[in-house]
Amino acid sequence: MPESSNFSIVQAGPKNADLLIQLIHELAQVHNNHDGPEINAKILAHDLENHACFAFIAYSGEEPAGMALYYLSYSTWQGQVAYEKWYKRLSLNVLDWNENATKLYDSLGAINLTKDEGWLVYRFDEERIRNLAQDP
């Protein structure tokens, strides 16, 4: 990065929901998800306000350059899941075709749980959750 660049990362809040949604839609395009995400700025602002999720925005000068959106989870093995708050683990999801991300995570020393430990990621979407709730 050139010395003249002015790069910063700031914590985002509900007032940044519109910008975060714009960045989320840009990310959806990169992932070839042309329908885009279902979330909107109102929902995201509510979730940020109520600490259902948290976010950072990266700026290059005055221009938004990226974002990180995260939420807390709990490990039955280790308790809480970032370093400053005594968290024990940071888990990342990345698509298998995103070589830039996988190379970055590998270079930073992240453990590929699929390759090294055989962990697979499963998800129940809204319809499947509804089906689970209806079955006795």
Q: What's phi and psi for 13, nearest 5 deg? A: -140, -170
Q: Which range, of 28-42, 70-84, 90-104, averages the lowest pLDDT?
A: 70-84
| pLDDT tens per residue across span 15-31 | 999 999 999 999 888 88
In one letter, which amino acid is 109? G
Torsion on CA atoms 77, 121, 92, 29, rounded to nearest 10: -160
User: Which residue segments constitute the domains of the chain, with CATH numbers given?
Assistant: 1-91 (3.40.630.30), 92-136 (no CATH)
Count of positions (residues) in the chain: 136
Q: Does residue 75 contact residue 81 with C-beta atoms inside 8 Å?
A: yes
What are the catalytic residues?
Answer: 105
Region 44-61: what's the mean pLDDT?
96
Asked whether the predicted pLDDT for residue 47 surpasses 90, the reply is yes
| In the block, residue with structure tokens 């940044």 | 16
pLDDT for 41: 97
The residue whose two tokens read 């683990």 is 89
Tell me the C-alpha distance between 59 and 57, whole Å: 7
The secondary structure of 36-93 as a DSSP string is --S--HHHHHHHHHTTS-EEEEEEETTEEEEEEEE---EETTTEE--GGGT-------
How remote is the C-alpha of 125 from its chain's centroid? Answer: 17
Residue 118 φ/ψ region, left for φ over 0, alpha for ψ in the -120 to 50 degree band, beta for the rest: left
